[in-house]
Amino acid sequence: MKIEAIRKETREGRSAIHARVVWEESSRPPLELRFETTTPVGLEEIGGNPFLVACAHSARSRGERRIRVDDALCPLLHDGIRTATRILAGWYGGSSEVLLEAAKGFRAFPTRAPRAGLFLSCGVDSLHALLTNRRIFSADHPSAFRDAVHVPFFSFPDPFPDERARDVASRQRTALETLRKRTGLDLCVVETNASAVEPDFSLHVLQSHGASLIAAAHVLSARVGAVSIASSFDAPRALRPYGSHPVLDSAYGSSGLAVSHEGIGYTRFEKVRELAGWEPARESLLVCFEGPLPGGRLNCGRCEKCLRTMTALSIVGGLERFAVFGAARPDVESIEQMPIGYHPHAFAHYWEPMGRVLFDQGRRDLSRAVARRVAEARRLHDWLSERDWKGRLRRFDRRFLGARLSALARGWRARDSNAP
């Protein structure tokens, strides 16, 4: 892979860097990779570091033998990419070595900026990380978050966002502006198409989505010297193979940007319980990726993420104070009708503990509804991951029979569907 034609420009209040990504071992067409921000930053010292972080793992997984960057690279980042590459190869297979070449050599940053930032979406995880930071550090402490780093459309990697993606981005911006006014954070928005580097969304989630976020933070490294990512999971689940991981994320830092993975010591239920008492969260909590939503609503109140958060808030007695969910309330019907969600493998992890608490609170109808959905999610996960007996048969068929049984089954189904 070659990362070439790197351009850095500042005009009309926007700072931007662009590069052309050329695949050498893959048949993929070249990609114009870009990062843009309206935050005042200097671009002179960042070198090719954002592009390396954005591209490294897709290059590894697709058999690229080298990454040549037509700029300088940080030697600390060089070592971090090598560490992350070997970890991912151990988890998922494939090459564990990609040669890194820097046309302008390897050089460390002369200094590190004294500001700390947090990737912020106004979801439960990032809001809790902000609350924890506020509780620990005084406003003038170097580790106190002063910048909220936001990457629009990050969860929607399509280069042409649809109406739902645009609506979610608009709602996130509304929530962030509300939070900014209440907390005094500066909002640093970085627009990028880094998610397009890896078009396989599953591979992106499992291997490189943390790196794509951190690549955007490297653009701000003249301003932000330390950035944190809020963990999606608690220990020990946070230590399983995943694209944002405590060890991986820290490896993507440089001598100019330290990266931390925050919050694995808290369950999601514990995070919600603490947020229930924080006024800024009540006004800006946004967990919903559905849309478009009418009437300026932040959350739909019907999807799995909404119902998961609302159920946790109702358990701790805080739901009535969260106007961001409108009049929606979790009940047996809504739980039984909700989709399993984006991550069937994590459904039981989130819902099973709440089902037990609901049972202990005497809310047996809701507890039984949750238990039924947990069992359904586990069956779905077993099917998707081929862990049930049918999955084992499919794996045997592919490995030893050349998928002939699957072809035969498809023929039977086609015959039956055409029968009079």
Q: 404 and 367 in one domain?
A: no
The verdict on whether omega for the bond into residue 292 sits within 30 degrees of 0, i.e. cis, is yes
What is the predicted pLDDT for the residue at 385? 66
Domain that holds residue 359: 299-384
Helix residue ranges, H only, 106-162: 124-136
In a domain, 128, yes or no: yes
Residue-level pLDDT at 199? 86
Q: Domains in the chain: how many in total?
A: 4
The pLDDT, as a whole number, for residue 296 is 85
Q: Please report the pLDDT score of residue 418 as a whole number.
A: 46
Same domain, 91 and 14: yes
Judge residue 118's burial from the number of C-beta atoms within 10 Å of its C-beta, 0-12 exposed, 13-18 middle, 19 or more buried.
buried
The pLDDT, as a whole number, for residue 403 is 62
Same domain, 395 and 350: no
Same domain, 415 and 368: no
Interior angle at CA 206, CA 56 and CA 95, nearest 5: 45
In a domain, 272, yes or no: no
Q: How far apart are CA 326 and CA 102, in angstroms?
A: 53
18 in a domain, yes or no? yes
Question: Given this model, what pLDDT does residue 238 score?
Answer: 86
The reply to whether 164 and 258 lie within a common domain is yes
Count of residues making up the chain: 420
Residue 364: exposure state from Cβ atoms within 10 A (0-12, 13-18, ≥19): exposed
Q: Based on the domain organization, do 15 and 83 belong to the same domain?
A: yes
- Positions in the chain short of pLDDT 50: 413-420
Helix axes 389-400, 364-384, angle to 10 degrees: 10
Question: Residue 293: inside a domain, yes or no?
Answer: no
Look at residues 295, 395, 383, 394 and name the one whose alpha carbon lies nearest to residue 340. 383
Cα gap 409→402, rounded to integer Å = 14
**Would the CA dihedral through 60, 66, 69, 73 be positive or negative?**
positive
